[in-house]
Structure 1
Amino acid sequence: MLVVRSAVIQFVLMVLLYSFHCVEGVFERLVCTISENCDCDFKPNVRGLEWDLYKNLYGQHLAQDIVSEEVANFLQAENPDRPLVLSFHGASGTGKTLVSSMIGRHLYGTAMGSPYIHQFVPTLHFPMPEHAKQYQVALKRWLKGNLTACARSIFIFDEMEKMPPGVIDIVAPFLGPSHSVFGTNYRKAIYIFISTIGEEVINRLALETRQAGREREEIRLVELEDAISQAVYNNKRSGFFHSRIIQEKLLTSFVPFLPLGRRHVERCAYRELCQRGECQRKDVVEAVGGAVVYVPEQGQHFSSTGCKSVPAKINLFL
């Protein structure tokens, strides 16, 4: 009799628990229907991001590994200790902007189309170095407003090599481990900085690795991290020139993007052709690979423009 009664109690509890979750789910959907809430749009797909990086990012094992691991670790914490802060470095056309778009697409289902993903371009938003103080005030106000509206905001600072020195330091208080800044809980945000500063040290190591007969996949972050940090901190053209963000080690990780060889360029061409419904045009793939300029002059190992010129060159050969 006691066994039967116990089983009945367990069944009732299971029904109540299931009903609670159902009601909770219905309530959540109702809230998302009648109001704008970034939690409703935030649907992270870490596996999708990992697959996208593996399938569509060529020759960048460091970026694939670092971004996958850092994003996954960050999202596992319901209340992170600090924001996720990634700094992408490498030559033009190596995939930095592509990866930032992938992150947005797999967290909010869209890249720059989400109202919770914000991109800053220095030549557009901070064009005059003499107005650095005014830019700091405006940027601080912008960050506070958007973090108040959405703790899961994503901020992308593109072309950091064109950022007036000093402007980015206003972001420093938002990047540390404090519980709140200016009354706003900001630790769930993601910051991405994109720069070509540091490409010289990255490309030099890639060339030395090739000349030594090592595979590029053997290159590790520890071989580049300090060199990139010094390059962006000491370069007067860098938005991080003598920046608090570097001094106080507020970046989660530097993400190096290696220079691309001909096989990577041809993979970019093949992907572009498939998107146009022309997967069978292997002749165009080879033609594009042969038309790209490669450096250095002796050896010609790496594309001077990465994959950036691929769409235009495909137009010439189609």
Structure 2
Amino acid sequence: MLVALSVLLLFSSRPVCCVFQRLYCSFSDSCDCDFKPSIRDLEWDLYKNLFGQHLAQDVISEEVASFLRNKSPDRPLVLSFHGSSGTGKTLVSSMLGNHLYGSAMSSPFVHQFIPTLHFPSAKRVSHYREDLKSWVNGNLTQCGRSVFIFDEMEKMPPGLIDVLEPFLGPSHVVFRTNYRKAIYIFISTAGQEVINQLALENRQAGQEREQIKLSDLQDAIAQAVYNTKTSGLFQSSIIKQGLITRFVPFLPLTRTHVERCARSQLCQQGVCDRSDVVEAVGGDVVYSPVEGQYFSTTGCKAVSAKISFFL
């Protein structure tokens, strides 16, 4: 009788669906249980820890929020990150995983691919295509909210990534799998020349960095990536069919941004007051072009090692 009364009180004080969801998730590893997106936390993380990337901050926040608000999207969210090394592309992909799943990047529903590790031989493209197709289909069957991250796309064997085309389009079902709620992230240095040139022209014209608009770069990046043999998306049907939601440019970083990276990492170590180290790191980085010394050639990538050296 006491047990029955407890159950009755439980159901009367909370929505039945929430009770069943909690009970279900207490013994299930379903991705619906682990999927706990927080757009506000993602936006804050982008604002606080991604330096010098107003375009990426705005585009990613808006696209992810819009995609997750749509309970029945007609196609997956496909974002392609482009820019020089050390500008924050991989960092942002980690932020997405961290703020979409309760178990963050360790979630079994966040999948990362690195060409040199997973697809090392250009001679085995046919084999890789079958494996990748099967892998993606299997994981989507298990979790429609799967996240697939493809890093270092410039090292991807040509023709491999197009095997994903059926999963990225507006069809409702592929291989008996509802796949429209998945997220795909491509990360590449391809297109960096176009991005860096526009940033340089903007700087030389004395304009504010924030005046650079996404519309200034979208088509130029798409064309550069499509026509670059080492882009991984060279003459890709994914681009030709317009299956990439947004090409996201990551601008080259200035000394100010590098020093902000250094200060942020020092604060994480509990030594925020070491301005001498911040200045030393900023002064030890190589900048380009030779005339002007505007942009770091390595972004924030070498900051951690330089901090260890100067501490």
Shorter-chain TM-score above 0.5: yes
User: Which structure 2 residues correspond to residues 300-315 of structure 1 after superposition, within 5 A?
Assistant: 300-315=293-308
User: Which structure 2 residues correspond to residues 269-280 of structure 1 after superposition, within 5 A?
Assistant: 269-280=262-273
Q: What is the rounded CA distance, in whole Å, between the counterparts of 2:153 and 2:259 in structure 1?
A: 29
Provide Cα deviations, 1:72-114, integer angstroms capped at 9, x if missing partner.
0000011111100000000000000010011111111344211
Letter in 2 for 1:293: V
What is the match of residue 8 of structure 1?
A: none
Does the Cα contact within 8 Å between 2:78 and 2:168 map onto a contact in 1? yes
What is the match of residue 77 of structure 1?
A: 70
What is the match of residue 244 of structure 2?
A: 251
Q: What is the rounded CA distance, in whole Å, between the counterparts of 1:155 and 1:240 in structure 2?
A: 16
Deviates further, 290-299 or 25-34 = 25-34
What is the match of residue 190 of structure 1?
A: 183
Q: CA deviation at 1:226?
A: 1.0
* 1:48 partnered with 2:25: no
* 1:292 partnered with 2:285: yes
Q: What is the rounded CA distance, in whole Å, between the counterparts of 1:29 and 1:111 in structure 2?
A: 19
What is the match of residue 276 of structure 2?
A: 283
Q: CA deviation at 1:21?
A: 4.7
What is the match of residue 222 of structure 2?
A: 229
**Given the alignment, which residue of 19, 30, 49 partners 1:26?**
19
Q: What is the rounded CA distance, in whole Å, between the counterparts of 2:13 and 2:238 in structure 1?
A: 45
Q: What is the rounded CA distance, in whole Å, between the counterparts of 2:307 and 2:246 in structure 1?
A: 35
**Given the alignment, which residue of 159, 163, 167 partners 2:152?**
159
What TM-score comes out, normalization by structure 1 length? 0.93
Q: What is the rounded CA distance, in whole Å, between the counterparts of 1:158 and 1:316 in structure 2?
A: 29
What is the percent sequence identity of the aligned residues? 69
* 1:105 partnered with 2:83: no
Q: What is the rounded CA distance, in whole Å, between the counterparts of 1:116 and 1:291 in structure 2?
A: 40
- 1:110/1:32 CA distance change after superposition, 3 Å: closer
Letter in 1 for 2:177: T
Q: What is the rounded CA distance, in whole Å, between the counterparts of 1:33 and 1:231 in structure 2?
A: 49
**Does the residue aligned with 2:64 lie in a helix, a strand or coil?**
helix
* 1:242 partnered with 2:251: no
Provide Cα deviations, 1:45-97, integer angstroms capped at 9, x if missing partner.
00111111111110000000000000000000111111000000000000000
* 1:37 partnered with 2:30: yes
Q: CA deviation at 1:19?
A: 3.0
Provide Cα deviations, 1:30-58, integer angstroms capped at 9, x if missing partner.
11111110000111100111111111110
What is the match of residue 84 of structure 2?
A: 91
Provide Cα deviations, 1:143-189, integer angstroms capped at 9, x if missing partner.
01000000000000000000001000000110011101111000000
Q: CA deviation at 1:22?
A: 3.0
Letter in 2 for 1:192: I
Provide Cα deviations, 1:266-295, integer angstroms capped at 9, x if missing partner.
000000001111111111001100010000
* 1:216 partnered with 2:202: no
Which consecutive unaligned segments of at least 5 residues does structure 2 have?
1-7
Two-structure CA RMSD over aligned residues (Å): 1.4
- 1:213/1:110 CA distance change after superposition, 3 Å: farther
Provide Cα deviations, 1:244-286, integer angstroms capped at 9, x if missing partner.
1000000000000000000000000000001111111111001
Does the Cα contact within 8 Å between 2:34 and 2:103 map onto a contact in 1? no
What is the match of residue 4 of structure 1?
A: none
Q: What is the rounded CA distance, in whole Å, between the counterparts of 2:53 and 2:210 in structure 1?
A: 8
What is the match of residue 3 of structure 2?
A: none
Q: What is the rounded CA distance, in whole Å, between the counterparts of 2:62 and 2:134 in structure 1?
A: 31
Which consecutive unaligned segments of at least 5 residues does structure 1 have?
1-14
Q: What is the rounded CA distance, in whole Å, between the counterparts of 2:26 and 2:105 in structure 1?
A: 22
**Does the residue aligned with 2:72 lie in a helix, a strand or coil?**
coil
- 1:20/1:165 CA distance change after superposition, 3 Å: farther
| Largest Rg, 1 or 2 | 1
**Does the residue aligned with 2:15 lie in a helix, a strand or coil?**
helix
Q: How many residues align?
A: 303
